[in-house]
Structure 1
Amino acid sequence: MSELKKDITLVTGIGQMSTTLLGTGLFMVPAIAASIAGQHLLWAWVILLCAVCPIALTFAALGKRYPNAGGASYFVKKAFNSRLERAMAWLFISVMPVGVPAAVALAGGFAQQILPAGLSDPISAQLLTVLLLIVVNLAGTRSSSRLQTAIAIGIVALVVAFMVKGSVGTEDVTLPKLTSTDFVPIGQALAVMFWCFVGIEAFAHMGEEFKNPQRDYPLAILLGCVIAGLVYWAFSVVVLKFGAYGTSELDRSSIPYIAQLLFGAKATLLISVMGFLACFATINLYTQSLSRMIWSQAREYKPQSPLAKLNRKGVPLNATLVVGVVLALGSVAGELSGVDLEVFLKLANGVFVVIYLMSMFAAIKLLSGYYRGLAFVASLVCLSVFGFLGWAMLYALGLFCLFWMVLSHSPAISEQPTD
């Protein structure tokens, strides 16, 4: 078997896209951003949603025209050359040591509240999370996407319950007045909030597995982004209303804090389960996309490699196992190092900004008319986020340059565009 199974429908695609964007971000980003921008967080969401639209539309156009498991790196290959494609592929894979373990740590934190005493230490909880990821991924795309759709429905229901029980009114959603000094904290908040829409590039790897990629893939991206954006905005309103931000502890536990405030201690177990599932959904898609990136590179350049093999369910078996091992090692190293999760988040954001930016450059060359204009606007958005991230961009730029130089010595790589 050399082709991935086409098991993703429009509904399950929307479920995967929305849970990927919500996942870990919902449990930490609104509160962290509120600590930076205060009441002006609502303006920050408006700006971010407007800024993300051209990026999402451009990815939708690229995925509709070029559905491939290689995702962003494949778009770059079609526009430029194989050397740049492989540099992009390795850059995406490099997010494993920083971005995904941070998400695993957050999921493990919720799992600790559920697991029995003997398995509730941080490392055990994280390793069990990774094991569950591998099991779900090897079960096939259909099972995985159905699970994520159910999680998406649960997340939306949770936020709606917060708004209803919290008696959110029109005064709570009114945008505050802006002054010239407010744009600095809003910009700083946006640099963190960009994490909430990291996942569009990962979803690009799933285009080849849609039953009808021409129709359903673009709609899944757009509707998934809209749903996620509305949920983020709604939860931010609740965070601001109840002051669930401002300290390191509140920034990391805003949802449990609000749940206990509104529903009492009886909600603790439910929130722990929902928190774990939401975080799991994000990591699940990244596990899928990373394994497919590795598989697509092996299929293209070393088709006889064990990494190019699929199991009976059409899943890249060995590539998935490799991702699992790296995640496990990265999670243990991250836990033992004691590095703050916010540092990992910023480093990962730097990688994703470069991937988004190169994808937009590819779109400018590959697309035409309206979509080429959108890609140009999206490139400017990515460059703006690039500036806000500051020092964190050095990690991504350093790795990209390293991969580019190393791959210059590979005789198998063409410098010509592959049309």
Structure 2
Amino acid sequence: MSGRMGTAQGAALLVGAVLGPGMLVLPHLAADAAGPASVLAWAGMLALSVPVALTFAALGARYPGGGGVAAVVGLAFGRHAAAVAGWWFFGAVPIGTVAGVLVGGAYVEASLGVDATLAACLILAAAFAANTAGLRTSGRLQIGLVALLVALLATAVLTAAPHADAVRFTPFAPYGAAGVAGAAGVLMFAFVGWEAASHLSGEFADRRRGPLRATVVTLVVIGLLYAGVSVTSVGVLGADMPDVPLTALLEIGVGPVARPVTGVVAVLLTFGAVNTYLAGAGRLGAALARDRALPGWFAKGGAPGETPYRSLGLLAVLSVPVLVAGQDLDLLMRATSACLAAVTTAGVAAATRMLPAGRHRVTAVVGTVMSLVGLAFCGGYLAVPAALAVVALLVLKANARRSYKIGL
């Protein structure tokens, strides 16, 4: 039986999967890496997204409710590959959520005067507490938070754009091609999430064309927003922009009242995103344990309606040292980007085997090539997914050996 979701609702959910609170700080990090030429990195990443997004839409239309990237990778390449892809996402969550709460904390400090690290700790603790209590961000609330972020970005662009000055784009590329590549590496954080089309497909009223239509609408929305934010932030603030560029843009365009409002909005956006990611990662951890990619002890609570306390506890244990030692937001976002880029690459590579010959497979091949280019932009940070892959395979081997001994 088909779902009831139309193009508009599907696009809203996809925008929510791709767009996140990282947008509150990424213009600053990209400009810091490449200067005004960061706009080229934004444009390049948008171009990369097109075949990747269309590939996941085609995959979802052919395999409705595909169960996420790890399941798709497992179907194409086997359970070891699925375990590695699962670990890439699971391992990215403690790093990415800490990066997210630090973004929220920076805006709280700039807007409300509360210490950034304290605010980040409170947001992270609240998200873990909410998940432990079984509270989830509802679909409608999540869409509302995404709409709030879209409104914030659009308002910043429209009100601040008249203050742009072409002189702020010179010198255009002070760090050369290497700077643009470095900016692309951190911007990967803003260009993941397209795989959501593959496991939302079963909810569409039109399962064959719905995912594609929603993906095209999302590409247009994301393209307009990202282009507007990247060009306006440089044109108005210059390459040496503050750590909280959206607050600065809104103050220029709207006035001082924007400062406290932006702080409150940043808290809501950050909490909503982190809460949702922890909920998904908690269930993923239980699923990995069930499939022997984590010790079996962590599988408890993974059934529908249950709370995966043990998996959430593991995420909390992993998050604490990251929060204590990882105050470098650029480093955290690049490490997260490398992991999520690896997940995306595995997904589109799986699609080259699972989609039938024709234009969809060609798109998947192009998406795989472009995803590999995106991975290359991550540079030395690829050591993080490489290490997680080793851990995943070692855990699988240890669990297989234990099962063999028990069988004996």
- When normalised by structure 1's length, the TM-score is 0.80
Specify the alignment match of 1:380 in structure 2: 369
Query: Is residue 2:250 matched to residue 1:259?
Result: yes
Counterpart of 2:20 in 1: which secondary structure? helix
Query: Is residue 2:65 matched to residue 1:76?
Result: no
Specify the alignment match of 1:407 in structure 2: 396
Counterpart CA distance in 2 for 1:330 and 1:10 is: 38
Query: 1:310–1:7: structure 2 CA closer, same or farther, 3 Å change rule?
Result: farther
**Long gaps (5+) in structure 1:** 1-5, 312-316, 413-419
Choose which of 39, 47, 61 in structure 2 pairs with 1:42.
39
Query: Is residue 2:381 matched to residue 1:392?
Result: yes
CA RMSD for the aligned pairs? 3.7
Deviation at 1:333? 2.6
Aligned residue identity for 2:320: V
Deviation at 1:122? 4.1
Aligned residue identity for 2:29: I
Q: Report if the CA contact (8 A) 2:51-2:363 is conserved.
A: yes
Counterpart of 2:67 in 1: which secondary structure? coil
- Cα deviations across residues 303-326 of structure 1 (Å, max 9, x unaligned)? xx6333212xxxxx323x445434
Counterpart of 2:257 in 1: which secondary structure? helix
Counterpart CA distance in 2 for 1:293 and 1:7 is: 26
Counterpart CA distance in 2 for 1:292 and 1:209 is: 20
Query: Is residue 2:262 matched to residue 1:271?
Result: yes
Query: 1:164–1:91: structure 2 CA closer, same or farther, 3 Å change rule?
Result: closer
Deviation at 1:393? 0.5
Identity of aligned residues (%): 24
Counterpart CA distance in 2 for 1:105 and 1:326 is: 20
Aligned residue identity for 1:347: A
Matches within 5 A, 1:125-274: 125-132=123-130, 138-139=135-136, 144-168=138-162, 182-201=176-195, 204-207=198-201, 213-243=207-237, 245-246=239-240, 250=242, 252-274=243-265
- Cα deviations across residues 63-88 of structure 1 (Å, max 9, x unaligned)? 22223463111111211212221232
Choose which of 339, 344, 361 in structure 2 pairs with 1:356.
344
Deviation at 1:329? 3.6
Deviation at 1:335? 2.9
Q: Report if the CA contact (8 A) 2:14-2:196 is conserved.
A: no
Query: 1:280–1:217: structure 2 CA closer, same or farther, 3 Å change rule?
Result: farther
Query: 1:380–1:267: structure 2 CA closer, same or farther, 3 Å change rule?
Result: same
Q: Report if the CA contact (8 A) 1:17-1:200 is conserved.
A: yes
Specify the alignment match of 1:94 in structure 2: 91
Q: Report if the CA contact (8 A) 1:22-1:282 is conserved.
A: no
Query: Is residue 2:284 matched to residue 1:287?
Result: no
Counterpart of 2:98 in 1: which secondary structure? helix
Counterpart CA distance in 1 for 2:33 and 2:398 is: 45
Deviation at 1:346? 1.5
Q: Report if the CA contact (8 A) 1:206-1:289 is conserved.
A: no
- The total of aligned residue pairs comes to 393
Query: 1:100–1:30: structure 2 CA closer, same or farther, 3 Å change rule?
Result: same
Matches within 5 A, 1:323-362: 324-362=312-350
Query: 1:401–1:325: structure 2 CA closer, same or farther, 3 Å change rule?
Result: closer
- Cα deviations across residues 274-321 of structure 1 (Å, max 9, x unaligned)? 22233334334423432443455567778xx6333212xxxxx323x4
Counterpart CA distance in 1 for 2:5 and 2:265 is: 24
Specify the alignment match of 2:25 in structure 1: 28
Aligned residue identity for 2:162: V
- Cα deviations across residues 221-246 of structure 1 (Å, max 9, x unaligned)? 44334322321211122211222542
Counterpart of 1:198 in 2: which secondary structure? coil
Q: Report if the CA contact (8 A) 1:71-1:293 is conserved.
A: no
Query: 1:278–1:225: structure 2 CA closer, same or farther, 3 Å change rule?
Result: farther
Specify the alignment match of 1:60 in structure 2: 57
Farther off after superposition, 344-353 or 105-114: 105-114
Deviation at 1:121? 4.9
Aligned residue identity for 2:232: V
Q: Report if the CA contact (8 A) 1:17-1:225 is conserved.
A: no
Deviation at 1:16? 2.9
Specify the alignment match of 2:353 in structure 1: 365
Q: Report if the CA contact (8 A) 2:160-2:253 is conserved.
A: yes
Q: Report if the CA contact (8 A) 1:104-1:331 is conserved.
A: no
Aligned residue identity for 2:145: I
Q: Report if the CA contact (8 A) 2:55-2:351 is conserved.
A: yes
Q: Report if the CA contact (8 A) 1:87-1:403 is conserved.
A: yes
Deviation at 1:216? 3.6
Specify the alignment match of 2:404 in structure 1: none
Specify the alignment match of 1:416 in structure 2: none
Aligned residue identity for 1:150: G
Specify the alignment match of 1:318 in structure 2: 307
Counterpart CA distance in 2 for 1:297 and 1:207 is: 23
Counterpart CA distance in 1 for 2:269 and 2:341 is: 23
Query: 1:175–1:262: structure 2 CA closer, same or farther, 3 Å change rule?
Result: closer
Aligned residue identity for 1:289: G
Counterpart of 1:96 in 2: which secondary structure? helix
**Long gaps (5+) in structure 2:** 402-408
